[in-house]
Every structure is written in structure tokens, then in C-alpha cells.
């Protein structure tokens, strides 16, 4: 069964349980599972007129649960192996009357708790299909939810796009690998890399920062919004700094281009640009292209750029100093 069909069936079941009465959808997770929902949340914020959409880290959802979480709330939660706080978030959502959908790789307390579950492929595995990673499934949930409740004019084109996501990624992988090798060599002695992005790519930039560079390679990697760059962070710009600018396809691209223009004036040779138009996103219809920025960018950043930097600095990206080793409960 195609992922579009599985998601459509699951969303219909969830809405049926809710008697088709829904006011909001909340996206809950931790780390990459949280960041992976940026694309889905961005889509709902842009396209839905009736359903409000909000993102929460698992811990925040437990300790500061919004009072409007109720039976008209659909809670979509994600955890690869069953993060304890995400499991507890599912329990909190259900206690408050919400219907829950859990995205998972390994079965855990999350799959036992949620009303409905969808298995996804780990983005980090070469054999995984990009249309089946958590970010893609989140976007598919959002698109099906909107179509079922309000109707979505570009639904057919959007569902067809999931069929070309994996080939698009494979082509982009080949294209960016030699470019990433050059970037990695240039940054092999850099201890801080600034990641800039906005709109539909902000989540990919966030994950590249906290999950890829900071967690996996133990480098400093501030995440900067391309517009907010001019409200403080641009003061650090000089020719010694390393900037990694993501250029999205879609309506917020001018924010990224504005930041890039400044970086080109005052930055140095360690300024790098990854453009969505170069990695295939412009091949999709303009009305839907921006909503697929996240899964393509995030997959390339993790599986190409992070890996190439790992190779040149001789830092195994599977090494951790604290995660899974020290107590941080």
C-alpha cells in the first residue's frame, strides 16, 4: 500500500472517532521527531482556515499542557523508539479526550497508547524511502486532514508528489555529494557553523543544527532564522565565519535571498548555499513545491553534508558523549 493510501485511511478513521468534529491538530515530539513536524505544521498554518495547528516538545506538552486540548483535538505524536516523554504526552492527550496518531519505527509504549499508528522509515538509513520518513508522513497527514475537513484544491497533485520524492532525493544525493566533500574540506577545522533558513526549510535547518552537527559531530551550530538574522545575529558576520544558507522554494524565499545578499557582502569563502531549485524542488508544481522542502532538505543535510563532514574530521557520527550513556532524567 502506498503511504498516501495508508495515511488517508488512518486520518479518516481518526476523524470518524472524533465524529468529524475537529478544532485543532497538535504535533508532539522530541529532537528530530519534533523538528520533523515543521513541514506539517507549516502546511496547516498556510492552508487551513478552520483547523488551528500547533507544535509542542514532548516535555512542554506534559508540564504546560494547553487548556484547549480536548475531544476536538487530534494529537499526532512521533518517536522512533519510544521516548518516555512522548509516551507520557500521548497519555496526557488521551486523558484530555483527544484522538491520537503515533508515528514510530520500533514498537513501544507509544504504539500501545495511541489510537492509531503509522510505521515510518528512518531517514538515516540508505535503503529508506523518503516518502516514508517521519517528516513526509507528517505532511501527508496534514494534507489529508485538510482535504477531508475543508477540501484542498491541490490535493491530487500533492499526493502524486509523494511518488517522486524518493527519486528526487536519489538524484539530489548524487548531485550534492561532490559539493558536500568540498564544503566539508573547507570546514574541517571550523568549530562553529551558523545555519540559516526560513519558512518551509526552517525545520530542516533546525534538525541539521541540533541533531546532525551538535549531537552527532559535537560542533557548535546556532540555528538562525533568515529574517531574524537582521535583528541581532548578523553582527557576528565576518570573513572568518562559516555560514550555511538554505534557499527554499516558495513564498519565503525572498527572506533567504536577503540574508544571502548580506552574507555575500561581508562574509568569506566559508559561506555555503544549498538551493532547493538545484536539488529538484522546482520540478514540482509551484502551488505544492514549498511544502516538500523539509523532507528533501533534511534528508540531504543528514545523509550527505553531515556524513561528509564526519569523514573529513574523523568523527564517527554514531559516537555520543552523553546520550544513552549518562542519566539525564
pLDDT in tens, 106-127: 999 999 999 999 999 999 999 9
Do residues 145 and 105 touch, judged by C-beta distance below 8 A? no
- Report CA-CA distances (Å) from 267 to 25, 33, 179: 41, 33, 19
Pairing, β 242-247 against β 52-57: unpaired
3-state DSSP assignment of residue 103: strand
Q: What are phi and psi of 77, to 5 degrees?
A: -120, 150
Low-confidence ranges of the chain (pLDDT < 70): 328
Least Cα distance to 36 among 7, 76, 3 occurs for 76
Specify the pLDDT at position 314.
Answer: 85
> Where do the domains of the chain lie, and which CATH numbers do they carry?
3-152 (3.40.50.10490), 166-313 (3.40.50.10490)
pTM above 0.85, yes or no: yes
Q: Alpha-carbon distance 193 to 319, whole Å?
A: 20
Specify the pLDDT at position 324.
Answer: 73
Specify the pLDDT at position 319.
Answer: 83
Do residues 161 and 284 touch, judged by C-beta distance below 8 A? yes
Q: Which residues have CB under 8 Å from 112's CB, separation 6+?
A: none
Angle between helices 134-149 and 293-300 (to 10 degrees): 180
Q: Alpha-carbon distance 240 to 192, whole Å?
A: 10
Specify the pLDDT at position 320.
Answer: 82
Which cell numbers hold the place of 218? 559535537
Question: What is the DSSP secondary structure assignment for residue 1, as one 8-state letter?
Answer: -
Pairing, β 193-197 against β 242-247: parallel
Amino acid at each position: 500500500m502506498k503511504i498516501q493510501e495508508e495515511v488517508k485511511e488512518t486520518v479518516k478513521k481518526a476523524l470518524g472517532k472524533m465524529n468529524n468534529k475537529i478544532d485543532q491538530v497538535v504535533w508532539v515530539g522530541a529532537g528530530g521527531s519534533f523538528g520533523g513536524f515543521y513541514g506539517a505544521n507549516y502546511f496547516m498554518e498556510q492552508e487551513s482556515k478552520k483547523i488551528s495547528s500547533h507544535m509542542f516538545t514532548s516535555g512542554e506538552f506534559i508540564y504546560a499542557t494547553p487548556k484547549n486540548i480536548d475531544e476536538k483535538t487530534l494529537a499526532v505524536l512521533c518517536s522512533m523508539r519510544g521516548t518516555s516523554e512522548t509516551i507520557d504526552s500521548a497519555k496526557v492527550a488521551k486523558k484530555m479526550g483527544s484522538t491520537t496518531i503515533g508515528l514510530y519505527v520500533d514498537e513501544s509504549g507509544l504504539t500501545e497508547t495511541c489510537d492509531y499508528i503509522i510505521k515510518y522509515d528512518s531517514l538515516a538509513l540508505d535503503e529508506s524511502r523518503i516518502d516514508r520518513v517521519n517528516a513526509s508522513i507528517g505532511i501527508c497527514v496534514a494534507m489529508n486532514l485538510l482535504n477531508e475537513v475543508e477540501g484542498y484544491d491541490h490535493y491530487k497533485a500533492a499526493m502524486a508528489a509523494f511518488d517522486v520524492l524518493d527519486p528526487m532525493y536519489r538524484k539530489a544525493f548524487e548531485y550534492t555529494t561532490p559539493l558536500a566533500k568540498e564544503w566539508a574540506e573547507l570546514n574541517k577545522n571550523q568549530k562553529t557553523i551558523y545555519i540559516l533558513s526560513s519558512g518551509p526549510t526552517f525545520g530542516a535547518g533546525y534538525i541539521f543544527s541540533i541533531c546532525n552537527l551538535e549531537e552527532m559531530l559535537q560542533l557548535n551550530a546556532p540555528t538562525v532564522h533568515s529574517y531574524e538574522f537582521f535583528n541581532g545575529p548578523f553582527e557576528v558576520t565576518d570573513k572568518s565565519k562559516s555560514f550555511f544558507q538554505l534557499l527554499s522554494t516558495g513564498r519565503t524565499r525572498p527572506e533567504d535571498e536577503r540574508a544571502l545578499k548580506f552574507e555575500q557582502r561581508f562574509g568569506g569563502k566559508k559561506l555555503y548555499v544549498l538551493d532547493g531549485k538545484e536539488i529538484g524542488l522546482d520540478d514540482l508544481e509551484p502551488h505544492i513545491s514549498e511544502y516538500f522542502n523539509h523532507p528533501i532538505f533534511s534528508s540531504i543535510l543528514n545523509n550527505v553534508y553531515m556524513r561528509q563532514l564526519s569523514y573529513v574530521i574523523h568523527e564517527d557520527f554514531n559516537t555520543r558523549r552523553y546520550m544513552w550513556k549518562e542519566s539525564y532524567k
